Amino acid sequence: MIPAAHPIIGDEERAAVDRVMRSGMLAQGPEVAAFENEFASIVDGLHCVAVNSGTSALHLSFLAAGIGAGDEVIVPSFSFAATANAVALAGATPVFADVEPDFFCLDPAAVEAAITPRTRAIMPVHLYGHPADLPTLAAIAEKHDLLLFEDAAQAHAASFDGKPVGAWGIAGSFSFYPTKNMTAGEGGMVTTPDEEVARRLRLLRNQGMEKRYANEIVGFNTRMTDLHAAIGRVQLGKLAGWTETRQKNAAFLNEAITEVVTPPTAPGAVHVFHQYTVRIEGHDRDAFAAELASRGVGSGVYYPTPIHRLPSFELQLDLPATEQVAAQCLSLPVHPALGQDELETIADAVNAVARAGS
């Protein structure tokens, strides 16, 4: 079976963990600080604050920027639940807007239509590694005096018009979960241009204190360990090469797959292909995936149920593009561990299953 995802952990990562183990400094320490400094190189030198997960990055970014009770934050419903959970955990209300079916990201027209007097912020998700329409969304935020957050959990090193994701608004949030384009084993990173927001993030992640036992605010324990940071530093050094391989793999699949809708890239966007997501039109998507598996090709469905229809929210909304893509999307292997033979097998299997079912 060709796996849909394949985390790559090598001798360098093992050596980095061993270095930290020998040092005796396992909690947040010099490795975390070094990882933050090095990560800044891919977000135009912004302040970077490491935390223990991508969800914590989202949650703390809202709190640090002053989002709370009575506020509304416009988000897509076609995403992982953490996108909306983080808004709710901050005490605010997620307002779900529709997506563009070609790129799977927030539709700016739907965002503008969702703005109310209670709206404080917009948070696009750069789903599957494709950046949302940041120039347009940033203009909408400025026009309505709103904060712009970015859920960049899947989009390390993606960009729009030459500007990296995570650098467009008040805060960007990245994830280092094992299946992401780079991993730290687990963890997250918040990026921000605002020094005061960065300081509040550091307080919030560490029980509200910068100086030991001098707690300034009520905070959390969401620190990243030096073990995780050491892995992240090694992976960050490999990210550019892995991204290039993902893009080459996606280019091959775009050329070779002819029987389903392959993922386009918007003008000005740099897609980093966390997932290579096709749309299965005219077929039962789940049956299609099962048939691919029988031919040795793994796949994934991200995400079968829009957030607004999950039991945690259960809202009756009219989001036609969201419902369409949730029923049609299928993510195929695109990771850097694939060889040419495997890429050809994936393309041949997809075309054959589509033709057999037509």
Domains with residue ranges and CATH for the chain: 11-234 (3.40.640.10), 239-357 (3.90.1150.10)
pLDDT at 357: 81
Within a 10 A sphere around the Cβ of 263, how many other Cβ atoms? Answer: 24
What stretch of H or E contains 330?
A: strand 329-332
At 51, is the secondary structure helix, strand, or coil?
Answer: strand
Question: Is this model's pTM higher than 0.95 or not?
Answer: yes
Q: Which of 150, 95, 86, 148 is nearest to 118 (CA)?
A: 95
CA distances from 193 to 44, 49, 170, 223, 334 (A): 9, 11, 7, 21, 32
pLDDT at 278: 98
pLDDT along the chain (358 residues), means of 10: 96 97 93 98 98 98 98 98 98 98 98 98 98 98 98 98 98 98 98 98 97 95 98 98 98 98 98 98 96 98 98 97 98 98 98 89
